[in-house]
Structure 1
């Protein structure tokens, strides 16, 4: 019986792998080793020697340890969904944005400096958004609308030793997630509680993905060799669409059951 190791993720995933030995561990409380070319995951509940890894880490702050684990998975040759090499491509936010830009996709423009001490040189016309470092889930970013807010934020961020970006605030109507799994594509229109896209979502509606955006998400999927990937897009009042980011571990909340079944099928086939 093959062993599927699920890294983080929702508990319900265990129900999708009948006939497999399913082990679920949290990366925060696990350690990984490679010994004699074999990969092992270890936590207080025991040792797992996986045949397949289902990486569902989700929106937690990336750490060097997570990257090291992905490198060990890649080194061991254990199949992973997405592959470790694909996940490593999008591990850093700047690398992710660079890839979108190189593919000619309409990614949001930004200014960037390697350290928050250079914030004074990144000021833009108000309002604009400041993002610090490589964080997920809406953390590490702030909307700046006035000179006073800007001065206070500069003082606060001065103590952080990380790269920082500024980008024009886009007054969008809603955001859209285009989700590709295998050869299938879904789209969901969403509205959050505040200005941050893909955060505190209160309204969502499945929509028919447009041919143009099916082609865009498929272009990205093929380029990074992803089993699953999502593009998050802002749509303005005049219908302009611009990409905020891509997500190689996208959440599936609100998407049809077929999406979960399709993804589980990929894992089982590895």
Structure 2
């Protein structure tokens, strides 16, 4: 009797990327733009069928590319399953909560030399110098403020770090491919989505550091943000466990190719 085809679960990807990946694969697929109803039973991962609600299908591999408000438990389930997941589920779980993920990354990076502060509840914060406040566990460049003097923090965990004048960059890793993206913005906030954001020469020290972090978190795909100060000093800002892969065509192509080959392994 022929063995059944493996079943691939795709979560969070946009339809063009889903089509580009699945069109090159000979396997069963279940596609969700949002978090699926799922369960782990005796080490096996099951997800609810899109065609037959209430019926659960055994999943063999997962490609996950999304950030959802309440996705930490789903990532934990994937990590407990410990099956083939792209990116690594344990790494995603370790990085998903913004502040604890930063703590883990600071243990590994060579560029963690920023004196940071933290508040747990709402209250006045007295900044002694231009400071950036980052609150909540939402990523995507949101929930940040540049402050000076006195500022009232939100009623959420907030991390404070000195504002650094210089260039914001992202080291993007997909498999053995490496790019450095110069992040841009109209004000102090910099983003990969700004029309002036562009590829630039890769800094060898940042590449080495990014690869060290990727290895620590078992990531084959990751985007890591740094600041390069006007004095040339380098500082880690954040490890993006779900980095954008569609802004730049060369990154998108590499992501699709890597995902296809990963599933075929």
By the TM > 0.5 criterion, same fold?
yes
The question of 1:42 aligning with 2:48 is answered yes
Partner of 1:21: 28
Deviation at 1:8, TM superposition (A): 0.6
> Structure 2: where are the runs of 5+ without partners?
none
Q: Could you say if the C-alpha distance between residues 184 and 44 of structure 1 is closer, same or farther in structure 2, counting changes exceeding 3 Å? A: closer
Deviation at 1:266, TM superposition (A): 4.8
Does the CA contact (< 8 Å) of 2:171 and 2:206 recur in 1? Answer: yes
The question of 1:264 aligning with 2:259 is answered yes
Instruction: Tell me the alpha carbon deviations over residues 97-125 of structure 1, each in whole angstroms, 9 at most, x when there is no partner.
Output: 22222124213432012x224x43x4222
Does the CA contact (< 8 Å) of 1:187 and 1:206 recur in 2? Answer: yes
Instruction: Tell me the alpha carbon deviations over residues 146-177 of structure 1, each in whole angstroms, 9 at most, x when there is no partner.
Output: 54xx2xx34xx2xx2x32222212233x3211
Partner of 1:7: 11
Q: Could you say if the C-alpha distance between residues 199 and 145 of structure 1 is closer, same or farther in structure 2, counting changes exceeding 3 Å? A: farther
Q: Could you say if the C-alpha distance between residues 77 and 238 of structure 1 is closer, same or farther in structure 2, counting changes exceeding 3 Å? A: closer
RMSD: 2.4
The question of 1:131 aligning with 2:126 is answered no
Q: Could you say if the C-alpha distance between residues 134 and 186 of structure 1 is closer, same or farther in structure 2, counting changes exceeding 3 Å? A: same
The question of 1:239 aligning with 2:232 is answered yes
Q: Return the TM-score normalized by structure 2.
A: 0.83
> Structure 1: where are the runs of 5+ without partners?
none
Partner of 2:212: 219
The question of 1:88 aligning with 2:82 is answered no
Q: Could you say if the C-alpha distance between residues 44 and 263 of structure 1 is closer, same or farther in structure 2, counting changes exceeding 3 Å? A: same
Instruction: Tell me the alpha carbon deviations over residues 203-255 of structure 1, each in whole angstroms, 9 at most, x when there is no partner.
Output: 12212312222211111111111111221112333333322101121112215
Greater share of helix: 1
Aligned-partner SS, 1:70 = helix
- Residues paired across the two proteins, number: 252
Q: Could you say if the C-alpha distance between residues 81 and 229 of structure 1 is closer, same or farther in structure 2, counting changes exceeding 3 Å? A: same
Q: Could you say if the C-alpha distance between residues 192 and 20 of structure 1 is closer, same or farther in structure 2, counting changes exceeding 3 Å? A: farther
Once residues 45 and 170 of structure 1 are traced to their aligned partners in structure 2, the CA distance between those partners, rounded to angstroms, is 51
Deviation at 1:90, TM superposition (A): 1.0
